[in-house]
Amino acid sequence: MVNCNCGSARFYADCCLLVHQDRQAAITAEQLMRARYTAFTRSLIDFLYDSFHPDSRRYQNKKEIAAWAQENKWMHLEIIQASTTTVEFKAHYLDKQFEPAVHHEKSRFKKDRGIWYYLDGRLLS
């Protein structure tokens, strides 16, 4: 068994895989955030695209999502703060030049018909 990349200390099969297979399995915005991070580590581009809220999905490009996911080596996820509809996190990674980097974001999520979606995010420091 493999530990989940999201940092939950659970096995992938008992954690983000459940959300990757059925987005309704994400009970909270934080669960979807963790599943999205893990999707980046596993290059699950369709999941990433489909988990964007329909209002913001039209601005997304699968090739760009794939490039961002695959050009970086994702190290670990740090949840700073989570509320019902927002998650502040730091995604630690190595960039194309293998330099350490951090993507620090406060993300907004919206639940629609029982499914959580990533709406948008604001980069922080």
Segments in the chain forming alpha helices (H) = 16-21, 29-41, 45-50, 54-57, 62-71
pLDDT (tens digit per residue) in 47-81:
999 999 999 999 999 999 999 999 999 999 999 99
CB within 8 A of 16, min separation 6: which ones? 4, 5, 6, 8, 34, 35, 38, 39
Q: How confident is the prediction along the chain (125 residues), in pLDDT tens digits per residue?
A: 789 999 999 999 999 999 999 999 999 999 999 999 999 999 999 999 999 999 999 999 999 999 999 999 999 999 999 999 999 999 999 999 999 999 999 999 999 999 999 999 999 97
pTM strictly above 0.75? yes
